[in-house]
Structure 1
Amino acid sequence: MNETTVNHPVFARIFDRFTGSLEKEIGAHREELLAGLSGRVVELGAGNGMNFGHYPATVAEVVALEPEPYLRERAEQAAQRARVPVTVRDATADTLPFADGEFDVAIASLVLCSVPDPARALAELRRVLKPGGELRFLEHVRSARPRKARIQRRLDSSGIWPRLGGGCHCARDTVAAIGAAGFDVERVRDLDVGPSWAHTNPHVIGAARAR
């Protein structure tokens, strides 16, 4: 059991309720995110397990971490339907319960927006990856448009959006944070999920390699 409690009961239930409709748009991006993986995988902040059905059969094992109790229960149910072995564990991003170099691949999917300390979370992912291990990411990030970026920063700094969004922040420069954490970003592209004007757009999808 974690010393840090993560409990967003209202957000978790709303999120779970609407992931079915979200999957219609984002499912293809999940397929792209996880395509071609093999070996042992750690997934950070697995939510209700929407990624599990997209892992290719070449993956030997997925260890999925989710600290929010309601979402973790839903993820455990999704793990039973997955075509690859999935173990769901209670853990937070700042202290991963693994030895150095345990995993071939790390997955960060719509989670780095909500961890309290992205730099520490990414350092932990870097630590538990084997040398040269791969980080795959699908995240929403700060807009390159100054006016929209200012709005995103205000939503974050006011605390309004983090309170409504289960700790989510919409103004983080996640790609830069990945590079600063000891990864070489090998590919990245922008995409919109939902309305392009939404404060949780744009998104990025890509891959990075641990140095």
Structure 2
Amino acid sequence: MAAVSHPVFARVYERLSVAMDRAGTAEFRQHLAAGLTGRVIEVGAGNGRMFTHYPRTVTEVVAVEPEPRLRAAAVRAAPAAPVRITVVDGLAEALPGADGEFDAAVVALVLCTVSDQAAALAEIHRVLRPGGELRFFEHVAAEETSLLRRVQRISDATLWPKLFAGCHTGRDTTAAIEAAGFAVDELRRFRFPTGSSSPSSPCVLGRATRVEKRPG
């Protein structure tokens, strides 16, 4: 498996994620986990900030994280969770899991960073059972005609991905989720922090259901 190491970013993110949760992302994480049941795969678990939000109706979370420092932090965070957490190495584009093995998948600030978003979503679709849920909280593209959208294009083509572990702020992630074979059931668009003009401020929070892909 190809190594994914971002040691400087990982150190910064361990602190930044705590501050972000205090500022409001903890509420978004709680929404992602609410009502989940059965076996869950969390793709890009980072340092395990999602873990304490899973309800006891979840029987197991398989938490996939390729970055070594963040994965080690996730291992340390797992015992504090109210459910069983298994932290594993793995890439979003090649998930550890059999076809239809999981009841739900969770991604939080992950699909902006993967090298191949379509491949990652295809893998999530593969490991979910028919009718399984995808819960997502992601940075996304701003409105096409906005000044911020132009700023995102410039940022993504220059330093932003290098500074933030491959993050691309201008992806149309909702459209990619639908193209991968999911029906979006719930979608909220907002900026976080509220009123921010940062390239990463446009976000979506939602739920989608796995359906069969149409041929072609």
Q: What TM-score does the superposition give when structure 2 sets the normalisation length?
A: 0.94
The offset of 1:196, in angstroms, is 2.0
Structure 2 Cα separation of the partners of residues 20 and 96 of structure 1? 27
Counterpart residue number, 2:169: 170
Tell me if 1:146 matches 2:146.
yes
Counterpart residue number, 1:12: 10
Q: Kindly report which structure 2 residues correspond to 1:130-141, keeping only aligned pairs within 5 A, or say none.
A: 130-141=129-140
Counterpart residue number, 2:214: none
The offset of 1:21, in angstroms, is 1.4
Runs of at least 5 residues in structure 1 that lack an aligned partner in the other structure: none
Structure 1 Cα separation of the partners of residues 180 and 51 of structure 2? 26
Query: Quick check: 1:142–1:201 contact (8 Å CA) kept in 2?
Result: no
Please, which moves more after superposition, 140-149 or 28-37? 140-149
Question: Deviations for 1:143-165, whole angstroms, at most 9, x for unmatched residues?
Answer: 0153211110111122x100000
The one-letter code matched in structure 1 to 2:93 is: D
Counterpart residue number, 1:210: 210
Runs of at least 5 residues in structure 2 that lack an aligned partner in the other structure: 212-216
Tell me if 1:63 matches 2:62.
yes
The one-letter code matched in structure 1 to 2:19 is: S
Please, which moves more after superposition, 68-77 or 144-153? 144-153
Alignment root-mean-square deviation, CA: 0.9
Query: Quick check: 1:106–1:125 contact (8 Å CA) kept in 2?
Result: yes
Structure 2 Cα separation of the partners of residues 18 and 173 of structure 1? 25
Counterpart residue number, 1:77: 76
The one-letter code matched in structure 1 to 2:198 is: A
Counterpart residue number, 1:93: 92
Q: What TM-score does the superposition give when structure 1 sets the normalisation length?
A: 0.96
Structure 1 Cα separation of the partners of residues 169 and 44 of structure 2? 17
SS across alignment from 1:47: coil
Counterpart residue number, 1:121: 120
Structure 1 Cα separation of the partners of residues 95 and 117 of structure 2? 13
